[in-house]
Amino acid sequence: MNHIVSLLPSATEIACALGLADQLLAVTHCCDYPPDVVATKPRVVHSAIPVEEMSCREIDTAVSAHLRAGESLYHVDEQLLRSLAPTLLLTQDLCQVCAPAGNEVSRALNSLPEKPNVIWMSPHSIADIQADILSVAKATGREAEANRLIIQMSARLARVADAVKNTSRPRVFCAEWIDPLYCSGHWVPEMVEIAGGIEVLGRKWKDSVRIKWEQVLEVQPDVIILMACGYNCAEATARAGWLGDQPGFGELPATRNNRVFVVDAGYFSRPGPRVVDGTELLAHLLHPNRCPWNGPTTAFAHFGRQEPAFLRT
């Protein structure tokens, strides 16, 4: 029996997808999927910033200030971690903003009398995500489950790619943060590509970076997708008003054609099995007549205007 602690929402999702929910001892304050599993788990990580009370701009300012000062964005409950005595710790070293990384994890490990096995996840692509799934599986004796999961993921992605081939490819801008704007990075432009779009400002397999509004005006996207990291659709919508106030927003092709969407970032910012669901959602938003969406109706919404009938069915 493994004693697993997850310091990363995507790692929590991977563990559950491999049938390890009963061996998962604790998760982070950000873990919300699968909801029936994480609701019963203690939180071993908490935010050092009161993000619930802050706007996107205030969060960005606070995060930047913490990082410049060399301060952590997260608190790891070392006392709880010691009491749990994990044999396997799932963490990341990709993004200081997304979850505890580097020094925070090292300090937590140093507080443990018995050092657990640690899996560091730093994926940049969908192939890397699948490799992380295999790494967790090998450490927990779940290789067969991982192989089945990866085969299913690959088959679903292939079906999406097949559904959108030989059709026009809209120019897409995905925003991983809203105010200030950050372009998409890592696996998200790859998801857009599979879903039949062209990510005009994204950085495939590279870090997301801050961009200027003028860059969006320059590329004139046909579709804009707001996927603010850490927020579900309703939360992101409540914070997205800044975008509509930007000069030239109403004249963009995406705006004129009512193709500005807000989505649940859980399908995109978390490098786990649900990136496949996210790719299917993208395909629906880009090619609704070819790609149905069978997931939750709360996964996406139009920004600022009435949703057209063909997307309500």
CATH number at residue 82: 3.40.50.1980
H or E element at residue 261: strand 260-263
> Does some domain include residue 292?
yes
Torsion sign across C-alpha atoms 137, 41, 230, 69: negative
pLDDT at 68: 67
**Is residue 153 in some structural domain?**
no
Residue 11 and residue 89: Cα distance in Å, rounded?
A: 10
Q: What is the pTM of this model?
A: 0.91
Same domain? For 177 and 297 the reply is yes
pLDDT of residue 167: 95
- Pair 213, 108 in one domain: no
* Whole-number pLDDT of residue 94: 54
Give dist(CA 218, CA 247) in Å, integer: 12
Q: Are residues 139 and 239 in the same domain?
A: no
**Residue 36 domain flag:** yes
Q: Cα angle vertex 112, ends 108, 115, to 5°?
A: 100
Same domain, 229 and 117: no
Per the structure, how many domains does the chain have?
2
Asked, for residue 156, whether it belongs to a domain, the answer is: no
Query: Is the N-terminal amide bond of 180 cis, ω within 30° of 0?
Result: yes
pLDDT recorded at residue 118: 92
pLDDT attached to residue 51: 64
Range of the domain at 66: 4-147
State the pLDDT at residue 42.
96
Q: Spell out, as residue ranges, where the chain has pLDDT lower than 50.
A: 95-99, 101, 306-313
Q: Radius of gyration over alpha carbons of the chain, in Å?
A: 20
**167 close to 290: Cβ distance less than 8 angstroms:** yes
The verdict on 137 and 182 lying in the same domain is: no
Together in a domain, 139 and 41: yes
**pLDDT at position 306, please?**
41
* Res 71: pLDDT: 55
pLDDT at 199: 98
Based on the domain organization, do 197 and 106 belong to the same domain?
no
Same domain, yes or no, for 191 and 243? yes
In degrees, rounded to 5, the angle at the alpha carbon of residue 189 between the alpha carbons of residues 187 and 190 is: 60
Judge contact between 258 and 218, C-beta under 8 A: no
- The whole-angstrom separation of Cα 188 and Cα 192 is 6
At residue 110, the pLDDT reads 76
Q: Are residues 105 and 228 in the same domain?
A: no
Helix (H) or strand (E) holding 272: none
Distance, in Å, from the CA atom of 94 to the CA atom of 88, rounded to the nearest integer, reads 19
